[in-house]
Chains A and B, each alone.
Chain A
Amino acid sequence: EPEVTQTPSHQVTQMGQEVILRCVPISNHLYFYWYRQILGQKVEFLVSFYNNEISEKSEIFDDQFSVERPDGSNFTLKIRSTKLEDSAMYFCASTDEGRASPLHFGNGTRLTVT
């Protein structure tokens, strides 16, 4: 069964450094998402991406965050200057249809900012 893959599984970085989290969505999917889960808290939406542009973003997704689909298979999340509070699990998700269709999640990247 096709799956969403994310790399790396764990990233440790120092405060103020830039990180890029990478995702390969399911190949025929058109809608891509990033969510995050701070330890012990709910899964929360960051951004959605369709047709090579951001379709929606949360208030968490400020100017420090950006997303890109550099080629036909990868989908990346960049954090320009990491803060301690960015430490979380970051999940990429994709779906083949738009609204109200199930999202398929990757296994996440655990980001630790020291």
Chain B
Amino acid sequence: EDQVTQSPEALRLQEGESSSLNCSYTVSGLRGLFWYRQDPGKGPEFLFTLYSAGEEKEKERLKATLTKKESFLHITAPKPEDSATYLCAVHYKAAGNKLTFGGGTRVLVKP
């Protein structure tokens, strides 16, 4: 049973067309939810950590929010350089000290 599910799997946007990515989780005892960006052939690059429902974090055109069941990554007025796979991962009480990743959302921003 998937514990972290990301949707959509892929997203094609025009430059400037804002959108949101979803990460839903079914774990209990959430200790942290992490967003990463991954470029082809590279390792995940840390973006945000969210620890509790209602929390929001922002960085440039990206804004992450968290509820008790899901997180959203909002991309405002994206640029082609925002094209990447965005990964969501959770750390929760029963999981020891490991992260559990979702499958990612591949974002392509066309000029």
Contacts and interface: CB of A to CB of B under 8 A. Distances in A.
Nearest to B36: A105
A105 B45 contact: yes
A104 B46 contact: yes
B101 A42 contact: yes
B34 interface: yes
Sorting the interface of chain A by its residue count into under 10, 10 to 19, 20 to 34 or 35 or more gives 20 to 34
Nearest to A10: B41
A48 B98 contact: yes
B44 A91 contact: yes
Interface residues of B, number: 24
Interface stretch (A13-21, A72-80, A94-102): A94-102
A110 B96 CA distance: 27
Interface of A: 4, 6, 31, 33, 35, 41-45, 48, 55-56, 58, 91, 93, 98-108, 110
Interface of B: 31-32, 34, 36, 41-46, 49, 51, 87, 89, 91, 96-104
Nearest first, the 6 closest Cβ-Cβ pairs linking A and B are A105-B43, A100-B32, A100-B31, A45-B98, A43-B101, A56-B96
17 contacts: A31-B97, A35-B99, A42-B101, A42-B102, A42-B104, A43-B87, A45-B98, A45-B100, A99-B32, A99-B97, A100-B31, A100-B32, A102-B49, A103-B46, A107-B42, A108-B41, A110-B41
